[in-house]
Amino acid sequence: MTDSSLIFVFIGIQIFVLLLTFPLILFMKLGGWPEGFYRIFRVKYFSPIFIDSENTPRRFPLRSSIIKTGDPNLPPYFEYKGFSNGVGRYYLDKMNQTKHNGRMSQYYYPDNPFPIPLLTLAHNPMISAESLEKMYHDESILDFLKVGKEKKTAKGRGWLLYAVIGLVMIAVVILTLRFI
């Protein structure tokens, strides 16, 4: 292999990697797996948000086909067994329905099958004191208050990382051309 053909192979590999990077970035911007897949192929889905034991909201995109209706006296429900302390069956409530990326979303505690009444809290006299206590000590409210504020940008070694990677790539090309 000559020097010029090796350079063309190296440039070709770099172009191939760049061409694969753009679809991957687009897929991640659409939500990654499985939400990006659902959005690309127009699969109907919803996103229940579970507040775990560390008070961190975790979103799980699920297909809408798992929503079941049974007894006409009970609301529709879905089953999800992703938590050790979870109840497995979670009920849907149209009055407390929010949206996430344009899809239906509701907040749940894993050990409570009913959604947290975010929208109907003031109108519902049947809310337990325990649920109010959990919601009062939830730190996601503080995160919501920080939404409009500017984030501090990390200063420092970003340019250094690019410089080191660039020097390593130049060194690899020089060493490759020298030993051919």
Q: Is the pLDDT of residue 178 over 90?
A: no
Do the beta carbons of residue 115 and residue 108 sit within 8 Å?
A: yes
Q: Which residue has the higher pLDDT, 17 or 142?
A: 17
For the segment 38-81, what is each residue's pLDDT rounded down to a tens digit?
999 999 999 999 988 888 888 899 999 999 987 888 889 998 88
- pLDDT band at residue 2 under the 50/70/90 scheme: confident
What per-residue confidence (pLDDT) applies to 38?
92
Please state which of the ranges 18-32, 134-148, 150-164 shows the lowest mean pLDDT: 134-148
- In terms of residues, how long is the chain? 180
Averaged pLDDT score across all residues of the chain: 82
Q: Where are the beta strands (DSSP E) in the chain?
A: 45-46, 49-51, 57-59, 62-63, 77-79, 89-91, 98-100, 103-105, 107-108
What per-residue confidence (pLDDT) applies to 98?
87
Q: Which residue has the higher pLDDT, 171 or 87?
A: 171
What per-residue confidence (pLDDT) applies to 83?
76
Q: What is the pTM of this model?
A: 0.58
- pLDDT band at residue 138 under the 50/70/90 scheme: confident
Mean pLDDT of 31-42: 90
Q: Is the pLDDT of residue 31 over 80?
A: yes
For the segment 89-129, what is each residue's pLDDT rounded down to a tens digit?
899 988 888 888 888 899 998 888 888 888 877 665 666 66
Q: Is the pLDDT of residue 19 over 80?
A: yes
Q: Which of 117, 99, 123, 124 is nearest to 48 (CA)?
A: 99
